[in-house]
């Protein structure tokens, strides 16, 4: 029986659209290569909590032609990636009403993880968040799932279900011993969830 569901954020809770770097490059006429340099290097450390995003991104403001503050840049960034899938969130509420605990599991640095919970209100829907910046590892690393498993305190790995739009993450979660389902669209997801619930 499923007791806990781990939901990926980008691609499940927040539908994937054009990335921040693409939007920023187009709007501010900054070559995408200049943005990629940050995301391929310093940002990777921010994702696992080994560097602070505000400190690292500050070095790039001039090169990116950004005239405002670091906080304003992050707000611009996060606001570009905040539209949630209302159908999924409605289903999360239904699952919680059935007694199933729902958590977010995501590769995100600490400022966006906090933004997700508080600014767009995901804390109203979920029991908590496991972000890579706090866990210290990225999906699909086995250590990511191990840390979550240890914190949840649920002995039966098969009672934990992962929903993710990345097939590598699905493969990794299954290897660890969790149940996992690939997310492609809401209708398929809902059918899979109903199958798990009806197994009771």
pLDDT of the residue at 47:
98
Q: Is the pLDDT of residue 167 over 60?
A: yes
Say how far residue 36 (Cα) sits from the centre of its chain: 20
Rounded Cα gap, residues 2 and 151, in angstroms:
17
pLDDT range class, residue 81, cuts 50, 70, 90:
confident
Mean of all residue pLDDT scores within the chain:
95
pLDDT range class, residue 43, cuts 50, 70, 90:
very high
Residues 15-26 as b/e (b if ≥16 CB within 10 A, e otherwise) read: eeeebbbeebbe
Q: 139: left (phi > 0), else alpha (psi -120 to 50), else beta?
A: beta
Q: Is the pLDDT of residue 199 over 80?
A: no
Contacts of 113 (CB under 8 A, 6+ apart): 106, 129, 131, 133, 134
pTM score of the predicted model: 0.95
Residues 28-55 as b/e (b if ≥16 CB within 10 A, e otherwise) read: eebeeeebeebeeebbeebbbbebbbbe
The domains found in the chain, sorted by start residue, are 4-15+84-198 (3.40.50.1000), 20-79 (no CATH)
Pick the closest to residue 169 from 126, 137, 191 (CA basis): 137
Mean pLDDT for 129-133 is 97
């Amino acid at each position: 029986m499923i007791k806990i569901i781990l939901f990926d954020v980008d691609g499940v809770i927040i539908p994937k659209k054009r990335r921040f770097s693409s939007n920023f490059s187009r709007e501010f006429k900054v070559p995408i290569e200049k943005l990629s340099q940050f995301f391929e290097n310093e940002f990777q450390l921010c994702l696992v909590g080994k560097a602070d995003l505000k400190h690292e991104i500050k070095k790039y403001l001039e090169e990116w032609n950004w005239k405002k503050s670091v906080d304003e840049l992050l707000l611009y960034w996060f606001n570009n990636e905040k539209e949630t899938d209302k159908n999924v969130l409605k289903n999360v509420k239904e699952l919680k009403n059935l007694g199933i605990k729902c958590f977010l599991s995501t590769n995100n640095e600490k400022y966006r993880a906090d933004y997700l919970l508080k600014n767009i209100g995901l804390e109203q829907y979920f029991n908590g968040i496991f972000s890579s910046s706090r866990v210290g590892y990225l999906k699909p690393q086995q250590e990511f799932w191990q840390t979550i498993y240890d914190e949840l305190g649920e002995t039966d790995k098969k009672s934990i279900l992962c929903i993710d739009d990345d097939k590598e993450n699905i493969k990794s979660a299954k290897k660890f011993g969790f149940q996992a389902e690939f997310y492609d669209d809401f209708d398929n997801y809902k059918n899979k969830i109903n199958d798990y619930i009806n197994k009771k």
